[in-house]
Structure 1
Amino acid sequence: MASKRTQALLYARRAAMAAIALLLLVAGVRSSWGTAQHVMLSKGREHGTLTVASCGGETCTGPYTPEGRTADHPRVTIEKSIAAKKGARLPVVLKPGTTEAVRAGAPGILHAWAPLGGALLLAALVVAGGLRLTRLAWGAALAGGALLGAAFLAL
């Protein structure tokens, strides 16, 4: 009887660890998609250049010059990143109906998916420790680390 109980506990533990790892990955994708959708599906959205005029604690602001025939915006905000210094000119995409911008191109895509990179690193710990799947854990950790490293280098 004890062996069946032990077996059931092992299955329950593995199911719980798999659910936690899946929850981490879903949270990373959901957190990333809020910004990534504007960068990756940018057709039909306003593209232009933001010239950084000032930076606060979490955001930078500056004038926006569009690429097409859309109106100029005197003050557009963007999330503060490592590379945002006063006078920097950044290619951006505006979120529809707002004056909030996100980085365009490869740096913008990598920056948008950075939360998924962190989620992959956390899930790798759960997969290695809770599920004992070390190869899968190393793969997830390497993918997450590569994503975060590439985002850091691109910005």
Structure 2
Amino acid sequence: MNDKTEAEIFAEWTAMERRIFLSRLSEREKQDFLYRWDFWARPEQRPPPGDWPIWLIMAGRGFGKTRAGAEWVRHIAEADAGARFALVGANYAETRTVMVEGESGLLSIALPDQRPVWEPSLKRLTWGNGAQAHLYSAAEPEALRGPQHSHA
């Protein structure tokens, strides 16, 4: 039995084998392949199976916590038009620069034609299907009172 991920196996191919594989894909398929998190993610970066109320990733720098969280949000938002997320960080600036605009943030990980609309003045992201994410600061916990969120 092979315990390697698809991405690890792909990485072991020779440069020529990878070029041949990629040459057989259309431009759209190449783009989709690049953004296919279920292929690139390590097993520990994927959500746990089953119905769970809390998913905690306790890991150090470089693990990919931000990316794993952003991909979880993206997956739900693209599948559920009614999803409403609360994105909470230490402060608004950190939430914005890491979770939304960062290299592993929601704007960076989405396919270009599926990126949510970012409205900084409203502290809101809106996906094409209507799903939304609102940004909050842990320094202002009262701001979370009132709005209804399906995920946080």
TM-score range, shorter chain: under 0.3
Structure having the higher strand fraction is 1
Q: Which structure has the higher relative contact order (CA within 8 Å, separation 6+)?
A: 1
Structure having the higher helix fraction is 1
* TM-score normalised by the chain length of structure 1: 0.25
